[in-house]
Structure 1
Amino acid sequence: MEQTDYKQERRCCARLGWALVLTAGCALVWQMVLMLLAVSGRLLAGQTMYYLLTLVGYYLLALPLAYRLCRRIPVPPLTNRGMQPRLIGRWFVIGVALMWFGSLLGSALSDLTYRIAGLEPADLLTDMMQELPLAVILLGACVLGPLCEELLFRGLLARRLARYGQKPAALVSALLFGLYHANLSQFFYAFALGLLLAYAYFYTGTLRAPVVLHMLFNCYGSFLAFVLPENSLLPVLYALSWPVLGVAGVILLVWGRRQQVWEHGPCAPSMRVVFGSVGMTLAIIICFVQTAAMLLG
């Protein structure tokens, strides 16, 4: 294991933090531009087009800049074990279990927070999704979103943090992934899924694994609920599938915990290095501010 140069490592982690800040900043500036164009009458777009244009600023503009900012950070090699359908199926069941338990906890705490604050409980994300066409939900939530988020949180963050070990890298990237969702109801399952997606990335050695899993999770958790016909037995079976897969996922997770493979990095893990920089601190503060804004908004 290399002798850790804390000053150099702190600069690397600061760049990763600034990459997150840059991503959030690009999204905010782009959204303000769209709002100004809409108010001035120069952008005559409905909610669907506005949502698609927002995705352009949030992902397609910010990601190349974030990667360019972090281009000098060392990237440790990964062991390429390849994707196996059996593993993808296993991780999918575990992921659905994590989503179910995490969403139950997140929703309960979110409702409690609203009550304490004297506010009316609201699910802004679901309300927005219900007003969008299915094709737009499929493109945004099930294709572009998972692809770009995996490039950012696993391909950029977790991969570079793996120099401190894959387990600390998974933990930190999952924490930032959960915070970046900017609402309490999604934090817990996003954090749990972030751990699973990072493990799938490190274990297989290819970003395709977490991308495919993320797409499957979003399709199962959001898109599928909108396409099932209401006057049929399918919605009931879909609702029952969550606790069934939840129990199965817990069994698989406990059964396979001793077979987990986490590789060590060349540098000693140090949370003081990872979080002891202005970039990372500011990124976390921004996440908390966005969460508070969503709560009060």
Structure 2
Amino acid sequence: MQENALRQERKYCARLGWALVLTTVIMLVWQVGLMALSLAGRLAGGESTYMLLALVGYYLLALPLSYWLCRRIPVPERVQRPLTVRLLVRWFVIGIGLMWVGSLIGSWLNDLVYQIANLETVDLVTETFNEMPLAVMLLGACVLGPLCEELLFRDLIAGRLARYGQKPAAFISALLFGLYHANLSQFFYAFLLGLLLAYAYFYTGKLKTSVVLHMLFNFYGSFVIYLLPEDGVLPVLYGLSWPVLTIVGAVLLVRGRKRQLWAHGPCAPSMRTVFGSVGMALAIILCFVQAATMYVY
């Protein structure tokens, strides 16, 4: 790649990094502002309003600014393929398996870190969902959250990184998606799901594909359990569905690995180009700092 072209590619990647930095900073400022309003008694609607705004409110500011920042980055054309029910079910089953395996790894490492730090084990993600009203969880975690995250990580980041090829774009966007969750409990399954969501996005060429899948994953993983009775056969069947769907998903994933379709991009993939900018490096550092604060406070 010629020096001028390489310099231009670094600028593109830097802008993507700064877009993620902007989103993270706005999120932190937004949460601090909401907390201040809540402590001052000036936030109408109580805890439900606070949680809903904390979940997705900052995206209303961050997403338009991020898209504006990256407006000059070329977006490679994508092949349009139909989204069938069969494909949706297949990806859903595979995704549930990835969620379960990733959550087991993340939970184990999260507990290990707390033990090494000689702290009482805390699962902040579970605690947050337990305190969240069902209506807020449904709207925030299962509708608005997936929509905004797919706009950011699949359409904005993966869609523009596809100029280096769809496979590198899927990996990088999934890695950033996992880091963005800023905790060990969610990192691994967010990364694995990020790969699947990027593939579904590229395969059909439609953002709605990854949005629908993301909504289904969040609904099944975080909302369904609260709709079931505490006792009886339904919670047992729900618990068993995770290892069963994991086995089925593994079979589907292995059998279909040779039929995967990844398009190449107009530029040669280079991790040094993507991550070798201040914007991208700072975005990753911020994610690590957020994760570290979980074990401090």
For the aligned pair, the TM-score class normalised by the smaller chain equals: over 0.9
1:45, CA displacement in angstroms? Answer: 4.4
Q: 2:284 maps to what in 1? A: 284
User: Does 2:31 correspond to 1:31?
Assistant: yes
Q: Distance in 2 between matches of 1:270 and 1:209?
A: 28
Tell me the alpha carbon deviations over residues 23-58 of structure 1, each in whole angstroms, 9 at most, x when there is no partner. Answer: 011111112222222333333542211112223532
Q: 2:90 maps to what in 1? A: 90
Residues 32-181 of structure 1: matches in 2 within 5 Å? 32-181=32-181
* RMSD (Å) for aligned C-alpha atoms: 1.2
Q: 1:233 maps to what in 2? A: 233
The amino acid across from 1:19 in the alignment is A
Tell me the alpha carbon deviations over residues 195-220 of structure 1, each in whole angstroms, 9 at most, x when there is no partner. Answer: 00000000000001100000000001
SS across alignment from 2:156? helix
Q: Distance in 2 between matches of 1:133 and 1:108?
A: 27
1:242, CA displacement in angstroms? Answer: 0.5
Retained in 1: the 8 A contact 2:38–2:50?
no
SS across alignment from 1:291? helix
Q: 1:223 maps to what in 2? A: 223
User: Does 2:263 correspond to 1:263?
Assistant: yes
Identity of aligned residues (%): 69
Retained in 1: the 8 A contact 2:56–2:140?
no
SS across alignment from 1:296? coil
User: Does 2:17 correspond to 1:17?
Assistant: yes
Moved over 4 A (4+): none
1:71, CA displacement in angstroms? Answer: 0.4
The amino acid across from 1:77 in the alignment is E
The amino acid across from 1:48 in the alignment is S
Normalising by structure 1, what TM-score? 0.97
Equivalent residue pairs, number: 296
Tell me the alpha carbon deviations over residues 37-85 of structure 1, each in whole angstroms, 9 at most, x when there is no partner. Answer: 2333333542211112223532111111111110000010000012111
Q: 1:189 maps to what in 2? A: 189
The amino acid across from 1:8 in the alignment is Q
1:129, CA displacement in angstroms? Answer: 1.3
Say which is worse superposed, 62-71 or 44-53, in terms of deviation.
44-53
Unaligned regions of 5+ residues in structure 1, if any? none
1:3, CA displacement in angstroms? Answer: 5.9
CA 266–168 in structure 1, closer or farther in 2 if over 3 Å, else same = same
Tell me the alpha carbon deviations over residues 74-111 of structure 1, each in whole angstroms, 9 at most, x when there is no partner. Answer: 01000001211100100000000000111111111111
Unaligned regions of 5+ residues in structure 2, if any? none
